[in-house]
Amino acid sequence: MTTDTLYARLVLRCTAGRIAVDNQSTETLEALAARHRELEDGGLWRPTDCRSRHHVAIVVPYRQREHHLKLFLTHMHPFLQRQQLDYGIYIVDQALPTRFNRAMLMNIGYAEASKQANYSCYIFHDVDLLPEDNRNIYNCPEQPRHMSASLDRHGYRHVYQIDKR
């Protein structure tokens, strides 16, 4: 049994399965920051009662989607904290009026996060995609993986063939 499997089993014992997604949040970013006083500056968090096995950077390309950003942060901080992750969320905003360049923002987010800490892995996340199940573990496996292979807007059917090796 791999250490990732053991970690996943431990997290599953500590978390519920499916979780509701609140897509109606009207909280301001300032109120959200005030409510999450457990966060370090820059959206960093680490468990205080144990040492996390995974040090994860979440890089989020962003531009002009404040409603989605508020929902994302409201949802993701408790989700990641339940998994006892040492994490940082990096919202990478692109200045106007240039065309949105998601790949460039991911590269910038990776570079900036790398300057701040020695992360075990990087998760590149869309601001409008939220995990709906606590069993979606945000750890650092040996191989890369696609974490949202099926989406609500597609009836949770895969939009492409998945190799099940």
Whole-number pLDDT of residue 160: 52
pLDDT in tens, 55-76: 999 999 999 888 899 999 999 9
Q: Which amino acid is at 46?
A: R
Q: Which amino acid is at 122?
A: Y
Q: How big, in percent rounded to 5, are the helix, strand and coil portions of the chain?
A: 35, 15, 50
- In the block, residue with structure tokens 């006083």: 37
pLDDT in tens, 134-154: 888 899 988 888 776 555 554
Structure tokens at 19: 């979780």
Domains, in order of start, for the chain: 3-154 (3.90.550.10)
Is the pTM higher than 0.85? The answer reads: no
What distance in Å separates the CA atoms of residue 165 and residue 162, rounded to the nearest whole number?
9
10-residue block means of pLDDT along the chain (165 residues)? 57 68 79 85 87 93 90 92 93 88 95 96 92 87 75 51 55
